Chains A and B, each alone.
Chain A
Amino acid sequence: MTLRKFDFYHPCSLEELYELLERYGNRAKLIAGGTDLVVQMKEKKIAPDAVIDLLGLTELQGMDRREEGLRIGATVKLSTLENAYILIEQWGLLASAAHRVGSLQVRNRATIGGNLCNASPAADMAPPLLVMEAMVTLSSRKDDRRIPIESFFIGPGLTVLRPEELLKEIIIPPQPPHSFGVYLKLGRRKSMDLAIVSVAALLTLSPDKKNCKRARIAMGSVAPTPVRAIETERLLEGNTLNEDLINEASRRAEEECRPISDLRSTEAYRKEMVGVLVRRALRQALMAKV
């Protein structure tokens, strides 16, 4: 399978990039690692007139602490994230999710920005960012706007990005102390696979671990976009975290999700597995060491 012809650009400054985005609009595609884009181009799902390489832009690279939290450049590779020391303290959930994406070969090219902009309902980076209440900066020549990650996805493959915009960075706020995060992904086999269902859970517990002060739960592959399980969160918050509550929460999560049947799995199985994964995630958070 070969790729159709396209113009190729490797801008070295944001100005150059903005100009290209304005010139081409929807006829151009941005490329970072290319692990989703090149596949889609080969499978003839898209045929852009121009491909614009983001890897030369330093503004999109690197990770650093800001007052507002941790800033991650859009073109930071998943292989960097999975081993990033800076994440351990508060944002380790993101590292473990990054580790679950594809293969070593894919992670050595794929970027966090690419994973989000591809906007698959199964995107592995989304559930952790949702539970950590991250923000994304969408940048154009006119301005940078910052929106919560929840508002970023519209539908399968669709985001709020305007044709002249790019995703510049992700900002993850500091997480409350005594928080435990878990990312669980169910595939069709243990070796690399897409998620049939995925669940991220971030629980903030009281120091004696009996009370759930704050709960954030997000699910992947069970709705047109990655979503938070708001009702399940409400059910947990402020309550004693015991087996009964965990079971009730898992049932509520099953009710909250809206999966479909496709060639990978059925609606019924996905629903049931959301319940199983939520239950397991909550149990694991409960058993995690302080």
Chain B
Amino acid sequence: MAKMEAMSDYRVVGRPLPQIDARERALGAAQFVSDLKLPRMLFGRILRSPYPHARILRIDTSKAKALVGVKAVITAEDTPQIPFGPRSEDWTILARDKVRFVGDEVAAVAAVDEETAEEALELIQVEYEELPAVFDPVEAMRPEAPLIHDKPQNIVSEFHLTRGDVEEAFKESDFVHSASYFTSQVYQAYLEPMACVTDIDHSGKLTFYLATQIPSMTRVTYAKALNMPLEKIRVIVPYYGGAFGAKMETNLHLIAAVLSQKTGRPVRMVNPRQEDFMAGNPRVPMYIDLKIGVKKDGTLMAKEVNVIGAAGGRAVYSMVIVATACYRVDSLYRFKNLKTKGLTVYTNTVPTSCFRGFGNAQMTFALESSMDMIAEAIGMDPAELRIRNGLRTGDVSIHGWKIGSSGLAECIEKATEASHWKEKRAEKRYARGIGLACCNHVSGNRAFAREFDGGAGLVRVGREGKVLVYHGESDMGQGQKTVFAQIVAEELGIPLDWVEVAWVDTDVSPFGMGSFATRGTLFGGNGVKAAAAEARRQILELAADMLEANPVDLEIKEGTIFVKGAPEKNLPFKRVAEEGLYRRGGAPIVGTGFWVPDTVLPDPVTKYGNISPAYPFACHIAEVEVDTETGQVNLLNYVAAHDVGRAINPQTTEGQIHGGVAQGIGWALMENMVTEKGRILNPNFRDYVVPGPLDLPPIKSILVEPIDPNGPFGAKGIGEPALNPVPAAVANAIYHAIGVRITELPITPEKILKALKAKKR
């Protein structure tokens, strides 16, 4: 498919430019949430349950309240006690009658300094009656398992999907492969722990300074939880230190808000790292049973899958994640017959939620491992098997997903070439191997957004021609602001450094669904692009008047507006902006714009419907060497080819790829939340090991740009696809190296040695 526009047609879009706020961050001047200081600010801390499941009999806060420097101590009684939740109604701000996981919020303190707040926690006396607890989702469904939320069998939700006739299709298959997988619960390990500052004014209006990926949606949930009108809640998003899915709604914010209400003062609440492990939102662990039927020419015939995911002590987004795991991969390959069942189950463990990949990462590990085994069984090159079945531009998947652009085949071709795939697969070097895995993803998910899906922007042109961009999404470091600024600069024809992107402030910014589901660039980008286009229209209208020309004959380049074909007739952009202000009683030029895709909510029963405006694809190839005496895996090389539609900023796109691959390697090989009776034994970086600079191979990123019809300048997204294929690529490489197949993450040295010994026997 030929590119619609050459790269050289754009001056700003497509350039690998440094992030526009990198300077603030490099100087240490960027104000992160945990840096904010307001006058008379108090420090909050949470008292958490030491038990995985217990009744709260009595709480005595009198001693804590009496401690000098303590300004408020709250329990559930001090909160509205309205059941709420992002997707369910099983949350309360503080535990009411029961605690359901170690770390559950029981009480909270606001004091004049951190030390006093910590001391006060120790003075709160809680009497618990321990209840039997259950920690595994399969165990939790047994009849004798204790009920955590009075839902039968502790099942939060069920997902069912059938297409075609799998039984027939299996019969027609030449080869049927079955395997069971387990994907572990891992921690996002963003460098800045969960944090917020809440403030309250004389009218009772609450301002939340939040590290949040979803400023507007959060506001809606919190208004309900606090029993307040929406307009009395303002969310502002400062700089924050990473999220990777974890920073959505959290009780930490609400508890700080209640403390602000009680004291009339700002409250800063930051999770000590240990507590962030205990009460964060780690990845949903899943048991996956996968059965695939295939013809000997590699055509996929049927897929039957069962997923069981643990929700933890309350449901955050786990049921949506399990659903996603169930059926997103169906739009990676040309599946024809499907039978899918997914169960999300409560357990007395830390509530699980979004982590880069959102269920699709878990299922991709299973699917791509199975595909590897299938390729071997039918004697086909694993790359060839993917190309044969992969969805192409113009395809409509079995669930009605319209693949406006697919660079999957090109990703596979380029990745295999860059990694010397053919040669390395053929050569049999001792304990050295190379493995491949692909993925698909969405760029936005209509099924996740309830009321609407879309993006909006507001572009304000100042008197000096400086442009301020408002959006409703969230920059957690991935470079969103820069991408938006590039899009606006491109649209307006002005230099990038004339563009600033404002902090999200729900008093001013558009209602954005937020940054998740790899939607930021596409949705937010289209929103600000539309807004910029509107601002451009107004500018050109003015300029046309000033130049006595027709707006359609005008062009803007590098901040100069000129008549096409008669460039001597021109005006500086700044001049027009200034003049516009003067002519219009001081009103600045403001362009608002929006973009609504023609996606649909899937049919509630059949799940059919195109949920995303664009679908990114990727192919990863990992090369490993295994130390067969210690079981340790050394990554030698890594190639990641990504279909991003168009890379608005190749440098930030690459940065995202490097980060996603690093996280995937951590998940595949070393990260493990070790628990005992629901208690996390390694809630620290000493014993929860993440990849350091010596643990990563050189990562070669390849950007494939089919130019999507729906994306801003053709862009899709990169965030989650960067991680999805990694564990399978690594597992497949290990299999190629030493002939052992590990289907449980993490793939530890112990497991490898055990498997090697079993193989010998």
Contact = CB atoms under 8 A, between A and B. Distances in A.
Contacts of B753: 269, 272
Given A2-B114, A189-B689, A263-B687, 10 more contacts: A1-B272, A3-B115, A43-B274, A189-B695, A193-B689, A194-B686, A263-B681, A264-B687, A272-B753, A276-B630
Nearest to B757: A272
A263 B689 contact: no
List of 9 A-B pairs having minimum Cβ-Cβ separation, nearest first = A191-B692, A190-B694, A2-B115, A191-B694, A263-B681, A1-B272, A263-B674, A276-B629, A188-B689
A77 B630 CA distance: 32
A189 B692 contact: yes
Contacts of B670: 188-189
Interface in B662-693: 670, 674, 681-682, 686-687, 689, 691-693
Interface string B721-761: 00000000000000000000000000001100100000000
B139 interface: no
Contacts of B272: 1
A269 B756 CA distance: 14
B633 to A, nearest CB: 10
Contact of B691 (A3, A4, A191, A269): A191
Contacts of B630: 186, 273, 276
Nearest to B43: A2
A219 to B, nearest CB: 16
Contacts of A4: 119
Contacts of A190: 692, 694-695
A290 B691 CA distance: 37
Report, as a range, how many residues of chain B touch the other chain: 20 to 34
A191 B687 contact: no
B118 interface: yes
A154 interface: no
Interface of A: 1-4, 43, 186, 188-194, 263-266, 269, 272-273, 276
Given A186-B630, A269-B749, A1 B689 contact: no
Nearest to B272: A1
Contacts of B119: 4
B118 A2 contact: yes
Contacts of A193: 689
14 contacts: A2-B115, A186-B630, A189-B689, A189-B692, A189-B694, A189-B695, A190-B692, A191-B691, A191-B692, A191-B694, A193-B689, A269-B753, A273-B630, A276-B629
Contacts of A265: 750
Nearest to B690: A189
A130 to B, nearest CB: 23
A256 B71 CA distance: 59
A140 B300 CA distance: 78
- Decide if the interface of chain B is mainly helix, strand, loop or mixed: loop
Given A263-B681, A276-B629, A191 B693 contact: yes
Contacts, number: 44
Secondary structure type dominating chain A contacts: loop
Given A189-B670, A263-B687, A273-B630, A1 B274 contact: yes
Contacts of A189: 670, 689, 691-692, 694-695
B570 to A, nearest CB: 56
A195 to B, nearest CB: 12
Contacts of A191: 691-695
Nearest to A273: B630
A272 B749 CA distance: 12
A123 to B, nearest CB: 15
A24 B682 CA distance: 33
A50 to B, nearest CB: 18
B692 to A, nearest CB: 2
Contacts of B692: 189-192
Given A269-B753, A276-B630, A263 B695 contact: no
A264 B687 CA distance: 7
A273 to B, nearest CB: 6
A288 B47 CA distance: 57
Nearest to A192: B692
A249 to B, nearest CB: 15
A81 B369 CA distance: 47
Nearest to A102: B686
A273 B629 CA distance: 8
A43 to B, nearest CB: 8
Nearest to A266: B750
Contacts of B689: 188-189, 193
Q: Which of A3, A189, A190, A192 has the most CB of B within 10 A?
A: A189
Contacts of B674: 263
Contacts of A3: 115
B753 to A, nearest CB: 7
B687 A1 contact: no
A192 B692 CA distance: 8
Nearest to B273: A1
Report which residue of A3, A4, A191 has the largest number of chain B beta carbons within 10 angstroms of its beta carbon. Answer: A191
B585 to A, nearest CB: 55
A87 B687 CA distance: 32
Nearest to A103: B692
Contacts of B695: 189-191
Contacts of B682: 263
Contacts of A194: 686-687
Interface in B66-88: none
Interface string B326-353: 0000000000000000000000000000
Of B119, B682, B686, most buried by chain A (CB within 10 Å of CB) is B686
A287 to B, nearest CB: 17
Nearest to B275: A1
A92 to B, nearest CB: 22
B109 to A, nearest CB: 13
A264 B674 CA distance: 9
B750 A269 contact: yes
Contacts of B750: 265-266, 269
A273 B670 CA distance: 18
A163 to B, nearest CB: 27
A273 B687 CA distance: 19
A257 to B, nearest CB: 16
Which one of B119, B629, B670, B674 has the highest number of Cβ atoms from chain A below 10 Å of its Cβ? B629
Interface string B261-278: 000000000001010000
Nearest to A280: B629
A266 B118 CA distance: 35
Nearest to A3: B115
Nearest to B674: A263
A242 B686 CA distance: 39
B524 to A, nearest CB: 35
A171 to B, nearest CB: 32
Contacts of B115: 2-3
A111 B516 CA distance: 46
Nearest to A276: B629
A82 B691 CA distance: 24
A3 B119 CA distance: 10
Which of B114, B630, B691, B692 gathers the greatest number of chain A CB atoms within 10 Å?
Answer: B630
A269 B693 CA distance: 26
A272 B118 CA distance: 44
Nearest to A1: B272
Interface in B117-137: 118-119
A272 B753 CA distance: 10
B754 to A, nearest CB: 9
A290 to B, nearest CB: 27
A43 B118 CA distance: 12
Nearest to A197: B630
B664 to A, nearest CB: 15
Contacts of A273: 630
B259 to A, nearest CB: 18
Contacts of A263: 674, 681-682, 687
Contacts of A43: 274
B413 to A, nearest CB: 33
A269 B272 CA distance: 33
Interface in B97-123: 114-115, 118-119
